[in-house]
Amino acid sequence: MPKAQETVLEIDLKALKHNFDHLKSRLHSNTKFMAVVKAFAYGSDACNIANYLQNLPVNYFAVAFVHEGISLRKAGITKPILVLHPQAANFNILIENCLEPSIYNAKILKEFIAIASAEKQSDYPIHIKFNTGLNRLGFSEQDVDTVISQVKSTSSVKITSVFSHLAASEDLNERDFTINQIETFKRITENITKQIGYKPLLHLCNTSGILNYPEAHFDMVRSGIGLYGFGNSEKENKNFKPIGTLKTIISQIHAIEKGQSVGYNRAFKTDAFLRTATLPIGHADGIGRQYGKGKGYVIINNQRAYILGNVCMDMIMVDVTSIDCNEGDEVIVFGPHATAENLALTANTISYELITGISQRVKRLFLQ
């Protein structure tokens, strides 16, 4: 990999393929694969990631919001795209771009049918979301008859899939809860299939569901975090390769005398001589203010350099007193070895929040 000369997020496409291949190896050959590329493909670059995955045996893409799906269409993505959280204000443009909505309550179903009918659509694909325990979005089991009644009353839409979302599939201490979700989903989908007279695609498993509950793979699975290199457990992480390496450089090194302070609000005061390095990356780039004051570190010449004081908008300062380094040297914020998961843990958060928060002003470099 090239040495950094500025702040850059390197994306390793070989690692992406490794992760995809591993996830596919855990599935039956006829199980479809939905790649989740919402949130700028978990902070990497949705259009580039989706274009790469489109040439692999990916069957569907998933985004959170309509504008994310439109960006993929403009980038040349032709495979089906599920919008997980559409709003009625965007239904016309959703149809215009051949995106497929998740329908999660009676209001959204009614509004989408009205717009699809006005647009003279026939059998427009919709995905019905049921709540089986996450209590976030979705119809309840008691809503099945109402949903089917509304769908049967029109020719403008057709149920392409029925799905739900596991709440704790990564936590084996919650296995009983997850099994109950699976059984609830089975009841719901058996009832729906019986009433509509055909079998839509069924999907329930996220990345941890893929890894821990093979009996719940159904017709399709959805993976987000696994594609980007995290298996949600120490055991499974060994099978994945983080695709992103966030690098920066040392802009300046300071000699700080005893009693002096570093950064805004004098948040760090030294009780002994030390050397600090200033790096051109800050909370506007995704390194939040929960880091700093001893929480969080970067890697310089294979050694940890802890963040001092408050994270600034465009800079952080780190302790390099015991590190042999110079201005211009490369700095690893996170990567395959010093992982985003480990850095996130220092601030009591998770890899998802860290990697999805990397600002789009940070240059992306794709490694083939």
In 10 A of CB 126, how many CB atoms? 24
Q: Which of 38, 129, 241, 247 is catalytic?
A: 38
Check if the beta carbon of residue 199 is closer than 8 Å to that of residue 162.
no
Residue 116: burial class (beta carbons within 10 Å; 0-12, 13-18, 19+): buried
3 is catalytic: no
Which are the contacts of 305, defined by CB distance < 8 A and separation ≥ 6?
277, 297, 298, 299, 318, 319, 320, 323, 331
Residue 349: burial class (beta carbons within 10 Å; 0-12, 13-18, 19+): middle
Token couple for 156: 């403008």
Residue from 119, 106, 111 nearest 148 by CA = 106
291 is catalytic: no
Pair type for strands 297-300 and 261-262: unpaired
Distance of CA 204 to the CA centre of its chain: 17
Q: Coil, strand or helix: which one is 306?
A: strand
Say which DSSP state 152 is in.
H
Check if the beta carbon of residue 312 is closer than 8 Å to that of residue 284.
no
In 10 A of CB 40, how many CB atoms? 20
The three-state DSSP-derived secondary structure of 179-193 is HHHHHHHHHHHHHHH
Task: Name the CA radius of gyration of the chain, rounded.
Answer: 24
The three-state DSSP-derived secondary structure of 61-105 is EEECCHHHHHHHHHCCCCCCEEECCCCHHHHHHHHHCCCEEEECC
How far is Cα 298 from Cα 319, in angstroms, rounded to an integer? Answer: 10
Q: Which of 17, 79, 186, 264 is catalytic?
A: 264
Query: Mind telling me the catalytic residues?
Result: 38, 264
